[in-house]
Amino acid sequence: MLQNMKAKNEKKDNKGFSLVELIIVIAIMAILVGIVGTQVLPYINKSKEAKDFQIINSYGTAATTAYSSDAENVTADTTIIVYGTNKDETGKPAASLETEIKTLTGYDTAEKLQDKMGSKKGKKINAVKVEISLTNKTITTQAYEDAACTTPVFDKVVTQL
């Protein structure tokens, strides 16, 4: 009976994990997080870029809607630079379409658009070029890094009229 009590007391003293075991587990978890993190980050960036591309795609949809409501005034191919400095010389139709596009997308300044973007590429956007081609019956939308529309950020989005 005395031996039984000694055995029970010894078992009580050895509960839990040792400090060395805990440190080893933490080190293994840190290594796993480091490996998994480097594998997951590119997918997160790609998903942010895809979301930003959808926002740019909405400019094509907004341009289609704006064109549909003002089609009788658009009699030639028209280029609209939303937020840009290199304005098109087609006059009133382009100006009214630009205002309508800004209203429909909800971004009246380039800064508001940049705030909504999640990717590094999206944060660089300073202008969105919308080209309405009556000849090809298409609307082409592309985001640019600079207001003069010389450095594209994403691929073009082509929408049928």
pLDDT tens digits along 112-152: 999 999 999 999 999 999 999 999 999 999 999 998 888 99
Contact 130, 60 (CB under 8 A): yes
Contact 125, 110 (CB under 8 A): yes
Q: Is residue 30 part of a domain?
A: no
Q: Is residue 64 part of a domain?
A: yes
- How many separate domains does the chain show? 1
Q: Is residue 21 part of a domain?
A: no
Contact 102, 108 (CB under 8 A): yes
Residue 153 has pLDDT above 80, yes or no: yes
Considering only residues 11 and 77, tell me which one the structure prediction assigns the higher pLDDT.
77
Q: Is residue 25 part of a domain?
A: no
pLDDT tens digits along 76-117: 888 899 987 655 555 566 788 888 999 999 998 999 999 999
Q: Is residue 117 part of a domain?
A: yes
Q: Is residue 95 part of a domain?
A: yes
Range of the domain at 120: 47-160
Burial 8-39 (b: 16+ CB within 10 A, else e): eeeeeeeeeeeeeeeeeeeeeeeeeeeeeeee
